[in-house]
Amino acid sequence: SSKRKITVAYGDGIGPEIMKATLNILEAAGAQLEYDVIEIGEQVYLKGITSGMEPKSFASLRETKVFLKSPITTPQGGGFKSLNVTTRKSFGLFANVRPCKAYSPFIKTHFPKTDLVIIRENEEDLYAGIEHRQTQEVYQTLKLISQPGSEKIIRYAFEYAKKYGRKKVTCMTKDNIMKLADGLFHKTFDEIAKEYPDIETDHKIIDIGSALIAERPEIFDVIVTLNLYGDIISDIAAQVTGSVGLGGSANVGEEVAMFEAIHGSAPDIAGMNIANPSGLLNGAIMMLVHIGQPEIAEKISNAWMKTLEDGIHTADIYQEGISSKKVGTQEFAQA
Amino acid sequence: SSKRKITVAYGDGIGPEIMKATLNILEAAGAQLEYDVIEIGEQVYLKGITSGMEPKSFASLRETKVFLKSPITTPQGGGFKSLNVTTRKSFGLFANVRPCKAYSPFIKTHFPKTDLVIIRENEEDLYAGIEHRQTQEVYQTLKLISQPGSEKIIRYAFEYAKKYGRKKVTCMTKDNIMKLADGLFHKTFDEIAKEYPDIETDHKIIDIGSALIAERPEIFDVIVTLNLYGDIISDIAAQVTGSVGLGGSANVGEEVAMFEAIHGSAPDIAGMNIANPSGLLNGAIMMLVHIGQPEIAEKISNAWMKTLEDGIHTADIYQEGISSKKVGTQEFAQA
Ligand SMILES: CC(C)[C@H](C(=O)O)[C@@H](O)C(=O)O
Ligand SMILES: CC(C)[C@H](C(=O)O)[C@@H](O)C(=O)O
């Protein structure tokens, strides 16, 4: 068949219902897909699999190379590892791509002109997971920054800017304090920037950079940064543009890529048909571009925008007197 | 004399004029002070003193134990160390205290109800300055968290809350990733919290915590966190409450304490009598409380509020049609 096989996981909490809504939309738009469904999340952890992923799931990803993933619930304690971190490491998903766009006036925000993309390094930094207890009272964590790792993500950011016609790439580090590690990232950025003379570049210290994302996000275009800083600023950016419930995210490696919503599994509203499927849908749209079905991606994206413009919203976005209709998860997908 | 001797530095850029304005106010309010003036900043660095501080300045601080400091300019390159970091380390200034309050409608903000205090650990974490180059291509920085260091700052935060009648202390870490180091801080927080049953407590993962400070700062009261996270969130909080130009900061140790504005030396507007002295003034107000002259502190604080309420502002805050009068640095101090 000419259908592209992808790995799909329904996850926990609101995961199953937003995945169902998303797959319905993909099908209605004519996406050429076949699904290999794997089980991840709470049930898998509770079987005692601390990595969060069974061997047959690894095998599925190795085969399909594309993973559309719903949010999961990680049980407390028990040494369970974040499934995201497991996947990022096992498959070398070095780039975490998070677009953040305001959809004003349909989605409320103080910053209607925001349209930025955060490209976060996804394997190194304090996420390398090297920690130890030196004495009973002193704990150490190692922050690792490598030249090849920095070069790879920075080049990815510039290529992304070029491909999508973006004008500026901003680098964020704390190299006034970490002169070696963060200094290496900044220096590598300055070197690679020379190869892209048409793209404007800039550097901000992460404290000021974070404050600017909170207060003037519209001044940014593409941002490239270290793992931990990227973790922090992507949550800030999503929050201030009102897109925590709407944002999709891609974790991209040389071979495998994983697509998801940026929000969590929201167990408190699970099964009630009120969750907003937009985050996962936006992840799926990025996936369609990635696997070479960009026309379908555009079609879905336009339909989604049209639904917002028509004022048809799930409860999280709906505003009395402004929106026209409050609907459930499946009805939103239908619209 | 019954005057309290303090160390004062005029700094660089707008430093001298805002210090002059601040000292004028202190004097007019009847503060009992005597000054030991030291030189810090650009000129000192350019003499080749990479720590930013001459031996006689260290001696002054050891004697007076209180330092009122204007912003400085650190020259680029040359291995110059941040003077703030030098002072924090040399004198064990383990607590960085940054109140952040909205003064709406006099100062524009989306979050008029914000009134929070960030208490940042100031000596450990990635700021320990332990970095090395493992190979040509791999750099490492050590993050250090100790039980005594964590206990000291967390206890300080709870004592602060008790003393100033604050109701809640929120801890922020990334202990879902750094289970040992950040886990130690979180665990120590939970332990110490038990000794303060009247104070409400809470913990937020730093990514979500930062986003909440950007979007709903009014839900926080006292926040205690690690050095780097505190650096980032205090800039965000200052920015969203409109107090970057207004905020004061205290760096407190067992013996010595340093007080300053949170903003920088703004060389572009230096000497023009347009800078806002409020940040340094708010630092000085914290200093007066620290040295046991709280009535003078309150007098100045009330006068400052009154000036804002009268709509008398320097150019950075002044808004046509809303404020009543645009004045210079010295005139603002006069008012
Ligand atoms: C769940 C957690 C491990 C993860 C991270 O820190 O990367 C999350 O915050 C994210 O941003 O994807
Ligand atoms: C100047 C710099 C070293 C300092 C820091 O990172 O602590 C500053 O950002 C601050 O917050 O006081």
Residues from chain A that touch B85, judged by Cβ atoms under 8 A, are: 177
Q: Are B72 and B42 in contact (CB under 8 A)?
A: yes
CA–CA distance, A238 with A234 (Å, rounded to integer): 6
- Copy the structure tokens of residue B179: 């289970």
pLDDT at residue B15 tops 90: yes
- Copy the structure tokens of residue B248: 């004061």
Is the CB of A226 inside 8 Å of chain B's CB atoms?
A: no
**What is the maximum span of chain B, computed from C-alpha positions, in angstroms?**
61
Helix ranges (H only) for chain B are 15-28, 42-46, 55-64, 83-90, 147-163, 181-193, 206-215, 227-240, 278-290, 294-309, 329-334
pLDDT score of B1: 54
Give yes or no on whether A1-95+244-335 and A110-241 have one common fold: yes
pLDDT tens digit sequence for A192-212? 999 999 999 999 999 999 999
Weakest mean pLDDT among A14-18, A119-123, A133-137: A133-137
CB-ligand 1 contact for A82 (6 Å cutoff): yes
Helix, strand, coil share of chain B (percent; to 5): 40, 20, 40
DSSP structure string for A94-156: -EEEEEEE--TTTS--S-TT-EEEEEEE-SSBGGG--EEESSSSEEEEEEEEEHHHHHHHHHH
**Radius of gyration over alpha carbons of chain B, in Å?**
20
What's the A231 CA to ligand 1 centre distance in angstroms?
A: 6
pLDDT tens digit sequence for B141-164? 999 999 999 999 999 999 999 999
pLDDT tens digit sequence for B274-304? 999 999 999 999 999 999 999 999 999 999 9
Q: Prior bond to A105 cis, omega within 30?
A: yes
pLDDT tens digit sequence for A26-82? 999 999 999 999 999 999 999 989 888 999 999 999 999 999 999 999 888 777 888
Sign of CA dihedral B299, B300, B301, B303: positive
Angle A229-B52-B270 from CA coordinates, rounded to 5°: 80
Provide the pLDDT confidence category of residue B231 given band limits of 50, 70 and 90.
very high
User: B64 forms bridges with which residues in the sheet?
Assistant: none
Q: Are A1 and A35 in contact (CB under 8 A)?
A: no
Helix ranges (H only) for chain A are 15-28, 42-46, 55-64, 83-90, 147-163, 181-193, 206-215, 227-240, 278-290, 294-309, 329-334
pLDDT score of A1: 55
pLDDT score of B245: 85
What's the B228 CA to ligand 2 centre distance in angstroms?
A: 9
Inter-axis angle of helices A206-215 and B227-240, to 10 degrees? 30
Is the CB of A204 inside 8 Å of chain B's CB atoms?
A: no
- Copy the structure tokens of residue A119: 């490209």
CB-ligand 2 contact for A46 (6 Å cutoff): no
Residues from chain B that touch A110, judged by Cβ atoms under 8 A, are: 110
Q: Are B145 and B181 in contact (CB under 8 A)?
A: yes
Is the CB of A129 inside 8 Å of chain B's CB atoms?
A: yes
Is the CB of A152 inside 8 Å of chain B's CB atoms?
A: no
Give the rounded percent of residues in chain A with a pLDDT score beyond 90.
85
Of these ranges, A94-108, A152-166, B67-81, the one predicted with the greatest mean pLDDT is: A152-166
Inter-axis angle of helices A278-290 and A15-28, to 10 degrees? 50
CA–CA distance, A178 with A201 (Å, rounded to integer): 21
Give the rounded percent of residues in chain B with a pLDDT score beyond 90.
85
Question: Class of the B1-99+244-335 domain?
Answer: alpha beta
Weakest mean pLDDT among A74-83, A156-165, A251-260, B197-206: A74-83
Q: Are B189 and B149 in contact (CB under 8 A)?
A: no
CA–CA distance, B288 with B282 (Å, rounded to integer): 10
CA–CA distance, B22 with B5 (Å, rounded to integer): 16
Q: Are B177 and A227 in contact (CB under 8 A)?
A: no
Is the CB of B133 inside 8 Å of chain A's CB atoms?
A: yes
Weakest mean pLDDT among A287-291, B55-59, B109-113, B242-246: B242-246
**What is the maximum span of chain A, computed from C-alpha positions, in angstroms?**
61
What is the value of pTM for the model shown? 0.93
Q: Which CATH superfamily groups domain B110-241?
A: Isopropylmalate Dehydrogenase (3.40.718.10)
- Looking at CATH, the fold of the domain delimited by A1-95+244-335 is given as Isopropylmalate Dehydrogenase (3.40.718)
DSSP structure string for B306-323: HHHHTTEE-TTT--TTTS
What count of CB pairs under 8 Å joins A to B? 141
Ligand 2 atom 5 nearest Cα:
B231
Helix or strand or coil: residue B121?
strand
Region for residue A178 given its phi and psi (left: phi exceeds 0; alpha: psi -120 to 50; beta: otherwise): beta
- Copy the structure tokens of residue B188: 């120590």
Q: What residue segments make up the domains of chain B, in order of their start?
A: 1-99+244-335, 110-241
Mean pLDDT of A253-259: 97
CA–CA distance, B255 with A269 (Å, rounded to integer): 52
pLDDT tens digit sequence for B190-210? 999 999 999 999 999 999 999
pLDDT at residue B25 tops 60: yes
**Radius of gyration over alpha carbons of chain A, in Å?**
20
CB-ligand 2 contact for A208 (6 Å cutoff): no
Give the best residue of A72, A100, A141, A216 to mutate against chain B (max B CB count within 10 A): A141
pLDDT at residue A129 tops 90: no
